[in-house]
Structure 1
């Protein structure tokens, strides 16, 4: 703990308020109970002077409240007061049946203090505290007024048990806290990895779209001298330069694709799907037992927009098959105000499966949808419906300038 940090009370990190207040309650009860008891026992039973007994009682009981926040400084005070009390009792004549050097009320308070120490301090500190306690008991045994007995080791034994118990509880709590933190970090890393995988997948697919356009540019530039008559030498040279630049760009894109694709995921040579392929996905979903109502769109859209629309519908219908088999579903793709509107809505499953069709999802579905829409400058709304169904609504711009 740095000097700037304020000390925290014992169990301050507990989720339940009653647990957080427990150390204060125990310390208050011990202080209230031990203060008058110590004064009475030391003055009446042991015959110690009332003023000395009162001072010792305050020094031995009051620091228990401090122990809730700073148990080690409280130990310094109480330990010194207990030893001072044992030495003060040497000045009076008391019955040999009474405990010495530490009367019962001192043992109770000291054991509670050791439990607080175990919940806060390190193993090394706890060992030093126990050694100091044992050393004080042994040292005082040499001046015992009635000789040493087995009862003299009572404080040493009980304090050791309290220190071990408190330390074990603290270490168990720390292990659980670190495990919870690690699980949180792992979940965040899993989400980040999912996002990066989806971005790489989208980049690979967009590469295929761009590569198609670059290939068309190359072919048009290379064949211009054969298709167009009357080209001047300067124009011919310009077309030749355009073709060379396009071929160089294609080579760079192929190297980029080699970086994006993993060793296992080899690229497909088939063109990327678009709006015209959405009907095939719908038909496959119907064959899987999901009744789908489909409203298509024949608008001319950029390839990147068509690809994104296809993937959004594909993933949405795949989720219906996985999580709501047999649910009535409606798919709509339409042009609205310069944007492509995609809507996939399903109702609740008529017969929920007894067990999920997949034991664990990859978590890529909604992440991929959101990334495609975000990269396209569009909007996406996805969430459950009151009747138990699910709705996915996306709007994508139809201009190549906006879809970047």
Structure 2
């Protein structure tokens, strides 16, 4: 029983062993075939074949057929060169092969004896190699012409010199044309297989791209759903509660009502931007936006809406916030950096004084957000520090730089240098500005 059980278990393993070996051999042959049919390998094989047939042809014609050495070398070089010409100048290769074969027939006419003639063996092999290259790479007319014209030229060149029976002559011509015909058929089949494989690979690449695009859209839709269900809902609740508090509670002070109105406006503005973001996420491309993106010209409005959340928020501007020299991407990055810096200051330094400075020069936009030490207790918040990372990414996106560091007085400063326009070539700049980075103006006018 035990031996029988071992046999029953071991039989599938022994049966699977040859299948695995055959599968590995098939993969190896497939890889070798793909490499041999690649452009670099084909050129290497063609050059090696050219050298081989040149050596054999230049040595056999004088040794076996009594041809003149110098002329034999010239003809051999011409015939061997047709293999390389077949890669780039196919019709020229066919013409050169026709001339070379006719010259070979004439050179070997006097001393062929009982040897193959008018198409010596090496001549037939060289023609077959050229025809194979043409059949793989070109349409059917070129390989057919490359197979027929050299044989016809050899036949007509040999007729005035032929004195014996026609049996060997006809056999040699028929053999040469048959070999070339078989090579033409085989080469065309290889060429069709290459074309089919290329189309298959193209279709697979298109399918993979479509799959990647579908997965990307699914992920973007999932993020959009999460933002809609969690963030947008939370903002809506904040807006509703802030706007109805004065009606639900009696004797609410006027300053509290004003504060609640600001909270309501901020929540509604955030909801509008959230809806635009959700629309972009649900599009297949983010080129078409449903609402205009904020720019530097919106910074004063942003400052005004922030003033009630801090002791003091001041804005200093040098230049025009709607300067046409500043690209839309840079203008949007300035707004988002200021927005995030203000949010961080209100969150982590309550009661602090905040100064926002923006200077526009012909080449750069300098942004600085400085807050003093907090005067109220800092409430612990949950987060992962994505605000500073987002500002760095905003600056890097337009090939600018951004630094964020505490001040000796206990405050915090964020300084960004952004180019007005994206340069043609990437700017070699890290997240921290180097010593050669341009410096902002020393005084910024109010």
What TM-score comes out, normalization by structure 2 length? Answer: 0.43
Q: 1 or 2, which has the higher helix percentage? A: 2
Higher relative contact order, chain-length normalized (CA < 8 Å, sep 6+)? 1
